[in-house]
Amino acid sequence: MTDAIISTQRVTKTFGSKAVLQGVDLSIPAGAVVGLIGTNGAGKSTLIKCLLGLLRPTSGSIQLLGEDPWNLSASAKSRLGYVPQIVKLYPWMKVRHVVAYTSAFYDSWDNDWAETLIDRWDLPREHRVGPLSPGQLQKLALVLALGYRPELLVLDEPVASLDPVARREFLRSLLEVCQDEKHTVLFSTHITSDLERVASHLAILKEGKIVMFDELDAVKDRVKRLRISSASDLPRDFSVRGALRTEVTGRQAVAAVTDLDENVLNEVRDKWQAEVRVEDLNLEDIFLELHHG
Amino acid sequence: MQTNPLEFAVQPTSGVPIYRQLMDQVRSLVSSGRLKPGDRLPSVRQMAAELEVNMMTVSKAYTRLEADGVLERERGLGMRVPEATSRDAAAAPKASVAERQQELKPIADELATRAWQLKLTDAQTLDVVRQVLKDRKS
């Protein structure tokens, strides 16, 4: 995998007796916009921190921009943008000062772009950082992370503290940044609808493992819900091959499959004289199906 | 003529991938004759910006439509509806009104269900449809 911007091999992270990451294998190709979703406590932030070298994995290995994140070079750092879940900036600085201060660290700082973002998000240049609202603070952190047009942008729950209007604005800007396919983006969220317009890839983290990683379209194309109605009562232990779950009520059954397979459909039709209807699932449905039981 | 991107509408939260929604809509535009041979489609960038979706999504839809022969790539100019060769034109007649109405049926079904839930009469429901159609024309 030479074009992988991030790759991990069997990464684990344990805090005391709590195994948060339990063998994460992930390979993110250049140009992908990856939405990382998982329930609260699934390990999203821990994974992101390990990827960025902010936490050291207990075992396994990680390559970020071709380097070990624990010993990241200055040049790799300048190709990397990160917005943490909780933004900490000097409270006594004015907005424009923070921007000027941050810009000095980066050769590739794009001042016009930063100014455009500040205008678009109505950030008050002359206000001090301290009293800014969480939403404004988040936007300012985004300006600081986007200002040097990093090759890889990593965002931990970037829109959690934004109102719906600001969230939409943010996603639009994220799309603008991604237009140039040199940019790779990884962002975590638990709001699936945020992902659907923006993401090209989907990574689902469950109980410390990546249980699904693929192109978003491919996931929608293959994860389906089957509604089965048979001519006679189905047995209690009725199940569909490869299904995540099957629920039986009398002659009806509902099954969610991760790889829609015509052979399986025909099998069910023949064996149970059943009618099978295939339902498309959106991301939220898919996410819920994967976390069922 | 260039299609205005506003004539497309995608539902990101639908279970149907956005690229397939786009493909279906381009197919409808071509089969209805709204898009004529030689007509150009918005650029990938334009379309993505207008619909606020990922460029890769639009690009995927265009590439597949090209593979299916619905669109052709004009070097440096983007995608357009191919000029029908006489044989193709004979082989693929435009969709009839009945066929096109058939495509509208799933949405009408949904409308009917919602109208029933809201306890609207047929006339009241059709009034809404008429008003929407009228607003779009003005």
* Chosen from A172, A173, A174, A175 to mutate, greatest number of chain B CBs within 10 A: A175
pLDDT at A293 over 80: no
Q: Which of residues 185-224 of A touch B (CB under 8 A)?
A: 193, 196-200, 216-217, 220-221
Mean pLDDT, residues B36-41: 88
Q: Whole domain around residue B14: which residue ranges?
A: 5-91
Mean pLDDT of chain B: 84
Q: What is the pLDDT of residue A170?
A: 77
User: pLDDT value at position A175?
Assistant: 78
Give the residue from chain B lying closest to A34, CA to CA: B54
The pLDDT value recorded for residue B131 is: 92
The reply to whether residue B54 touches residue A281, judged by beta carbons under 8 angstroms, is: no
Give the pLDDT score at B4.
57
B-chain CB neighbours of A283 within 8 Å are 13
Residue B83's domain is classified under what CATH number?
Answer: 1.10.10.10
Chain A residue with CA closest to B44: the answer is: A179
Q: What is the mean pLDDT of residues A124-150?
A: 88
Which of these three, B76, B91, B106, is where a domain ends?
Answer: B91
> Could you tell me the CATH superfamily of domain A4-219?
P-loop containing nucleotide triphosphate hydrolases (3.40.50.300)
How far B13 CA sits from the closest chain A CA (Å)?
A: 6
Predicted confidence at residue A178, as pLDDT, reads: 67
Q: Write the pLDDT tens digit of every residue in A38-84.
A: 988 889 999 999 999 999 999 999 999 999 999 999 889 889 999 88
Q: Is A281 on the interface with B (CB under 8 A)?
A: yes
Residue length of chain B: 138
Tell me the shortest Cα–Cα distance from A33 to chain B, in angstroms. Answer: 9
Same domain, B67 and B108: no
One domain, residues B30 and B65: yes
Contact A217 B13 (CB under 8 A): no
Q: How far is A92 from chain B (nearest CA, A)?
A: 37
What is the Cα–Cα distance from A110 to A6, expressed in whole angstroms? 25
CA distance B57 to chain A (A): 8
Pairing mode, strands A184-189 and A18-29: unpaired
Residue pointed to by tokens 């609207």: B120
Q: What pLDDT digit, counting tens, does each position of A179-189 carry?
A: 665 789 999 98
Q: How confident is the model at residue B85 (pLDDT cuts 50, 70, 90)?
A: low
* Residues whose CB falls within 8 Å of the CB of residue A53, separated by 6 or more in sequence, listed in order: A64, A68, A69, A70, A71, A72
B20: closest chain A residue by CA: A217
Nearest chain B residue to A223 by CA distance is B15
Q: Per 3-state DSSP, what percentage of chain A is helix, strand, and coil (rounded to 5)?
A: 35, 30, 35
> Looking at the predicted structure, is the pLDDT value of residue B124 above 90?
yes
Task: Choose, out of B43, B50, B54, B60, the residue to mutate when testing the contact with A (most A CBs < 10 Å).
Answer: B54
Number of other CB atoms surrounding residue B65 within 10 Å: 22
The structural domains of chain A, with segments of one domain joined by +, span 4-219, 223-290
Judge if B85 and B115 occupy the same domain: no
Same domain, B9 and B48: yes
A233 interfacial to chain B (CB closer than 8 Å) = no
pLDDT of A13 reads 95
pLDDT at B120: 93
Indicate whether B79 and B123 sit together in one domain.
no
Which segment of A45-49, A171-175, A176-180 scores lowest on mean pLDDT? A176-180
Question: Average pLDDT of B102-124?
Answer: 90
Residue A26 has pLDDT above 80, yes or no: yes
The confidence score (pLDDT) of residue A39 equals 86
Q: What average pLDDT score do residues B82-109 get?
A: 73
Q: B5 or A141: which carries more pLDDT confidence?
A: A141
Q: Tell me what pLDDT residue A98 has.
A: 95
Angle value at C-alpha A184, between A23 and B60, nearest 5 degrees: 105
Instruction: Tell whether B60 is within 8 A of chain A (Cβ).
Output: yes
Q: Is the pLDDT of residue B45 over 90?
A: no
pLDDT of residue B91: 47
- For B6-31, what is each residue's pLDDT tens digit? 588 888 888 889 999 999 999 988 88
pLDDT of residue A166: 77
The winner for highest mean pLDDT among A54-58, A198-202, A278-282 is: A54-58
Architecture of domain A223-290: 2-Layer Sandwich (3.30)
Compute the C-alpha angle A131/A127/A81, nearest 5°: 80
Question: Inter-chain contact A175–B48, Cβ cutoff 8 Å?
Answer: yes
Contact between residue A191 and residue A164 where contact means Cβ atoms under 8 Å apart: no
- The band of B90, judged by pLDDT with boundaries at 50, 70 and 90, is very low
Which structure tokens are listed for A70?
A: 């624990």
How much is the average pLDDT of A235-257?
86
Q: Which residues 23-52 on chain B approach chain A with CB closer than 8 angstroms?
A: 45, 48-49, 52
* Total of domains in chain B: 2
| Mean pLDDT of all residues in B77-83 | 87
Residue B130: what pLDDT? 93
Q: Does B6 touch chain A (CB under 8 A)?
A: no
Q: What's the pLDDT at B3?
A: 54
Give pLDDT, residue A1. 43
Cβ(A119)–Cβ(A149) below 8 Å:
no
Residue A30: pLDDT over 60: yes
What does the mean pLDDT of chain A come to?
Answer: 88
User: Is the same domain home to B111 and B83?
Assistant: no
Return the residue in A220, A222, A284, A286 with the most chain B beta carbons within 10 A, the one to mutate for interface testing.
A220
As a whole number of angstroms, the distance between CA A6 and CA A263 comes to: 36
